[in-house]
Structure 1
């Protein structure tokens, strides 16, 4: 594999991994002031959830945290397999392609399950809360597109 082709393979894999990480981080992971933490702030402070809503959303978050950890571990394992395939093939060969495809599948599952989690939390909300939640989710997904 030429150096240019090798660089392109690495760049594509890094880009796809970055996109998946940014999506998850912006939507769900609280931390420094990002759109994802704004969603967290809205959900847990601004929407004035009642006790039942807080309990249901807490259960959803705990369940999703476990699933997210499992999917992220799968992504890390896929990256290890990709690195091993690259070391063996030194080309855009069948093992490298299979490892990239596996990684993309895992990223897709993580994104789909993240969205399912967002929709599950939305179902707990009253219509007025859901409207504000929808605006925050849309904002978190579109602010970087500007």
Structure 2
């Protein structure tokens, strides 16, 4: 193949790939993560007053620290699980114990997340709480329904 023809072919292939990516994104948009959608409702669709924004900001800062600590605990649990799997090569007692510990950390993260959500809900007006509740339910069931 001549160099000039190769360059033309490469350019056509490149532009076809770019067009394919563009069309794929247009016709098959990526779903918004549930936490992102809930955050958008909270900060963009509830018409929060300044007092509510300040309280929510405090809640979010506190929760970010708790969530980070629990996520680090989960990572450590996953590392222990990997070590147990590598040592036992099966569903042995170390693997079972590591899975159980991981489940405890996941459960704690879920409880803390719900506590955070309920704390926010407590400072909302009734009309805001209804919208927030719908967003929470949608975030929890979006993939299910």
Shorter-normalised TM range? 0.7 to 0.9
Deviations 1:3-52 (A, max 9, x none): xxxxxxxxxxxxxxxxxxxxxxxxxxxxx833332221111121111111
2:142 aligned counterpart, secondary structure: helix
Q: What value does the CA root-mean-square deviation take over the aligned residues? A: 1.2
Count of residues in Structure 1 that have an aligned counterpart in Structure 2: 115
* Deviant stretches of 4+, over 4 Å: none
Q: In the alignment, what sits opposite 2:68?
A: 69
Relative to structure 2, which stretch is displaced further, 73-82 or 91-100? 91-100
Deviation at 1:86, TM superposition (A): 1.1
Deviation at 1:71, TM superposition (A): 0.3
Name the CA distance, whole Å, in 2 between partners of 1:78 and 1:135.
33
Deviation at 1:91, TM superposition (A): 2.0
Task: Give the alignment of 1:1-146 within 5 angstroms.
Answer: 33-146=32-145
Deviation at 1:144, TM superposition (A): 0.8
Name the CA distance, whole Å, in 1 between partners of 2:40 and 2:85.
42
Relative to structure 2, which stretch is displaced further, 50-59 or 40-49? 40-49
Relative to structure 2, which stretch is displaced further, 126-135 or 38-47? 38-47
2:143 aligned counterpart, secondary structure: helix
Structure 1 length normalisation: TM-score?
Answer: 0.75
Name the CA distance, whole Å, in 1 between partners of 2:78 and 2:94.
12
Larger radius of gyration: 2
Task: Identify unmatched segments of 5+ residues in structure 2.
Answer: 1-30
1:144 aligned counterpart, secondary structure: coil
Name the CA distance, whole Å, in 1 between partners of 2:43 and 2:132.
11
